[in-house]
Amino acid sequence: MTARHFDLSNRLCLVTGSSQGIGLALAKGLAEYGARVVLNGRDPDKLAKAAADLRAERCDVETAPFDVTKADDVAAGVENIERSLGPIDVLINNAGMQFRTPLEDFPAERWEQLLATNVSSVFYTGQAVARHMIKRGRGKIVNIASVQAELARPGIAPYTATKGAVRNLTRGMCTDWAKHGLQINAIAPGYCKTPLNQALVDSEEFSSWLEKRTPAGRWGDVEELVGAAVFLSSDASSFVNGHTLYVDGGITVSL
């Protein structure tokens, strides 16, 4: 295996939820390895700013604003990308959200929102993109799970449920689509400094607990997820399928 196996030149990569945080970091990382990246989100203004920032760093970037929680919007958005920009070679299913409150007080509407954003979006977008990939006999799908697919903390039981679903949906996608030449895997980030986690980052008590709980002894940086994304998006992972890669500083293997 050589460096060319990690080269993403001439590949079109759609990254959902990529106007900030993990999605934006992954989009930038893929672009740095040669990919043409399509940023996705619901806010056209935020996408435009993110795209401008990446272009300033000489990344090849397009935008595709649509709501990944709505099946019809996803189908139309994916069709538009395939028609106007070209075939999608790589899909990073990154869109996600968090809501923290004791389980007995968890609002039903927030439960439905979590399911739509963290699980349904993966199904809708994965299915819409895979239909094109299957016809071509190739394609990469990388779903963003979480260490919460393995672990639970007070106040986030529904989030934990959704990320466990993403891990198993990844396995199911592999079982159905590997025979068509697709590789479908997941990345499970540990605790990274993101807008989603800002309240925890700012909490001295939580940060102290996390640093003691994590063998690496620190928060992760979103840029540290790029290597896993490039690997799973490239030819280097041609026989890796249905796998969840934990990038977590060791938190899932230590008591």
Q: How many CB atoms lie within 10 A of CB 175?
A: 12
**Alpha helix stretches (DSSP H) within the chain:** 21-32, 44-56, 71-84, 108-115, 121-136, 157-177, 198-201, 204-213, 226-233
* Residue in 124, 159, 191, 246 annotated catalytic: 159
Residue that has been written with the tokens 């989009």 in this structure: 27
On whether the CB atoms of residues 94 and 26 are closer than 8 A, the answer is yes
Q: What share of the chain is helix, strand, coil (3-state, %, to 5)?
A: 55, 15, 30
For residue 187, the cross-strand partners are: 144, 245
Give the C-alpha distances (Å, rounded to integers) separating 185 from 56, 142, 148, 198: 31, 5, 16, 27
159 a catalytic residue: yes
For residue 37, the cross-strand partners are: 13, 61
Active-site residue set: 159
